[in-house]
Structure 1
């Protein structure tokens, strides 16, 4: 079963809450109470950058070590890129139908603080399983999950179903 960080955009918003600096005003987000933070991901050109800023701001607030935060930010960047590239419903509708753009959230990012690290999870509507491609030095793409594999302590995904899937990775502080 795919688990999503929130049932709807409304549930992700808190009354009177404001997103951290650098997070778009139209981006639903949830502050980080008790080691959990989530934000809706749009299909705009700045979504990956917003996800990186959200992650860095959240981990700084949790006082996570800088190296762990750097690795988590890169992992989130790759997971979000893959979710938007491969997991969005119908790319044509997302780009050209402004009514869909205003209401549809193609993916969610959730961060959960753990004892010595953080769990990064990205949920999308795609039904295809992530594929770790063989290393190809001449390929122009296909390295994202390799980076996730190298930088995380573990990673995986929920079995895709009609509501989509969640790809996750854990990063643990060393020392």
Structure 2
């Protein structure tokens, strides 16, 4: 089930100083990590998700579904989360400010929030393009990710993009 753009929530995830590797285990119901643009980022995000949800003692089905959803959201953020008009470089707002500097050195953030037995997965990036679900094509080499997110999540959507980017989110719940 696809939801439509929501209010922007990603600025709070971009207010930390730039570091090469950063993650924040929050209270028992929140965890976040900054994602680099390295070749290992998607696997690291998947491991972070499994470890966090395992510590929260969520059921194995929710953990594995959330790990797949995070894989797709992080892959899309790294592939499409930059402004094409900037020649593929991360977005930097016109006015100098901390968010612009962070967008430069942090292509994406992953946040996980536990809500009862469900988990909200949110990936913020510097891009201003919104997700586009491609028509199903069994012969295509790519383009199935958002279909997978739609199938595995109770709801998903994105915040309205602004100068600092957007957040794409999905809620994964236990299967009834």
TM range, smaller chain: 0.7 to 0.9
Residue 91 of structure 1: how far off its partner (Å)? 6.8
Asked if 1:7 is matched to 2:8, the reply is no
Q: Residue 157 of structure 2: SS of its match in structure 1?
A: strand
Q: Residue 9 of structure 1: SS of its match in structure 2?
A: coil
- Per-residue CA deviation, residues 110-144 of structure 1 (Å, 9 max, x unaligned), is 00000120000000011111001110111111111
Partner of residue 46, structure 2: 52
TM-score (norm 1): 0.81
TM-score (norm 2): 0.81
Give aligned pairs, total.
Answer: 156
The structure-2 alpha-carbon separation of the partners of 1:85 and 1:154, relative to structure 1 and needing over 3 Å to count, comes to: same
Gaps of 5+ in 2: 1-6, 91-100
The answer to whether the 8 Å contact 2:82/2:88 transfers is: no
Distance between the aligned counterparts of 1:152 and 1:130, measured in 2? Answer: 15
Q: Residue 134 of structure 1: SS of its match in structure 2?
A: coil
Distance between the aligned counterparts of 2:14 and 2:167, measured in 1? Answer: 14
RCO higher in structure (CA 8 A, sep ≥6) = 2
The answer to whether the 8 Å contact 1:158/1:165 transfers is: yes
Partner of residue 123, structure 1: 124
The structure-2 alpha-carbon separation of the partners of 1:93 and 1:161, relative to structure 1 and needing over 3 Å to count, comes to: closer
Gaps of 5+ in 1: 14-25, 95-99
Partner of residue 41, structure 1: 35
Distance between the aligned counterparts of 1:91 and 1:59, measured in 2? Answer: 37
RMSD: 2.2
Partner of residue 93, structure 2: none
Q: Residue 137 of structure 1: SS of its match in structure 2?
A: coil
Q: Residue 10 of structure 1: SS of its match in structure 2?
A: coil
Distance between the aligned counterparts of 1:168 and 1:118, measured in 2? Answer: 10
Moved over 6 A (4+): none
Distance between the aligned counterparts of 2:23 and 2:87, measured in 1? Answer: 23
Distance between the aligned counterparts of 1:135 and 1:165, measured in 2? Answer: 25
- Map 1:98-109 to 2 at 5 A: 104-109=105-110
